[in-house]
Chains A and B, each alone.
Chain A
Amino acid sequence: MRFMMLMIPKGYEIAEPGTMPDAKAVAGMMKYNESLQQAGVLLALDGLHPPSMGARVSFPGGKPKVTDGPFSEAKEVVGGYWMIQVKSKEEAIEWAKRCPGSETEVIEVRQVQEMSDFPPDVAEAAAGFADLQAQSGQSKGS
């Protein structure tokens, strides 16, 4: 089963555009990432630029409305994620606990939906999605 570990760093909701992680923290995190890799559990990982460089689109009545970041009402925001493949929720939590997180950080562990979680009729309606995912691939950005 796959789990997503969402890193929620307190204060990131008001971080300036162009804010970079501290080099020392990055080095510690890279060691942790490598340990996930060596255990064969790491599927994907990314860091997100602060919300001040992002945007939100709301759909009141189905009509899109764009709001530029930062988002004043947001109390917590995602700073990055890991996608891992493990045998249980307990194993996912154990991995989250090993992260060199600081006291301002929380990791939210969430299970990813698999096609097998859906009842047959929904699975059929969503059947194309697995093919789409296979086609899309995880190619590296530029």
Chain B
Amino acid sequence: MRVMVLVKADENSEAGALPDEKTLTEMGKFNEELVRAGVMLAGEGIQASSKGARVRFGKGTKPTVFDGPFTEAKELIAGFWLWQVKSMEEAIEWLKRAPFQDTEVEIRPVFESTDFAPSDPTGELMAAEERLRAQSEQLNKAARR
């Protein structure tokens, strides 16, 4: 199964402060372990919410755009990993070893196309999603070069 690990923003990340060298080094080691164990699928840092926007959808009206920062949001995200694990327990064990201090990190299982089997008897949705993923994967690899 895949899980998404969501790292929360704090005052520092929201102020655009970069992690110090010690934090980067420790996190680098942890990331290396994840890669060596075949757990790491992806990982990204997200810029402060002041550089972002929110789009709210209405009923029969045009979507409304709000510019960041989102000071009212208590659960902003500053980064994420995508991990390949055998169980939630394994994901939790990995996360417990991460070099964090005084923060809270969330683990969420990701929907796999097989989860939709009951509402997709012909397999049509699953096939469409597989195609979409294969194409995105190629683009993703190119974007990282």
Q: Is the CB of B57 within 8 A of A102?
A: yes
In the complex, chain B residues whose CB is within 8 Å of the CB of A58 = 103-105
Residues of A within 8 A of B (CB): 2, 4, 6, 20, 23, 26-27, 30, 33-34, 37, 40, 42-49, 51, 53-62, 64, 66, 71, 74-78, 80-81, 83, 85, 89, 92-93, 96-97, 99, 101-103, 105-113, 117-119, 121-122, 125-126, 128-130, 132-142
A92 CA to B74 CA in the complex, in Å?
23
A71 CA to B63 CA in the complex, in Å?
29
In the complex, chain A residues whose CB is within 8 Å of the CB of B75 = 74-77
B1-25 with Cβ < 8 A to chain A: 1-2, 4, 6, 18-19, 21, 24-25
Q: Is the CB of A132 within 8 A of B41?
A: no
**What DSSP secondary structure best describes chain A's contact surface?**
mixed
Query: Would you give 30 A-B contacts (Cβ < 8 Å), ordered by A?
Result: A20-B115, A26-B125, A33-B132, A37-B135, A42-B135, A44-B42, A44-B137, A57-B104, A59-B103, A60-B102, A62-B102, A71-B106, A83-B44, A85-B139, A96-B55, A97-B62, A99-B55, A101-B55, A102-B57, A107-B57, A108-B49, A110-B47, A112-B45, A112-B47, A122-B21, A122-B24, A137-B141, A138-B41, A140-B133, A141-B110
Q: How far is the CB of A134 from chain B (nearest CB, A)?
A: 6
Q: A49-B109, A111-B51, A139-B84 are in contact. List 18 more A-B contacts (CB 8 A).
A: A20-B115, A20-B119, A45-B132, A49-B111, A55-B92, A61-B102, A64-B96, A89-B51, A93-B53, A96-B53, A97-B63, A101-B55, A113-B44, A113-B45, A122-B19, A129-B43, A138-B41, A141-B110
The 8 A-B pairs of least Cβ separation, nearest first, read: A101-B57, A141-B2, A113-B45, A64-B96, A47-B111, A58-B104, A111-B47, A59-B100
Interface size on B, residues (CB 8 A): 78
Residues of B within 8 A of A (CB): 1-2, 4, 6, 18-19, 21, 24-25, 28, 31-32, 34-35, 40-47, 49, 51-59, 62-63, 65, 70, 73-75, 77, 82, 84, 88, 91-92, 95-96, 98, 100-112, 115-116, 118-119, 125, 128-129, 132-133, 135-137, 139-141, 143-144
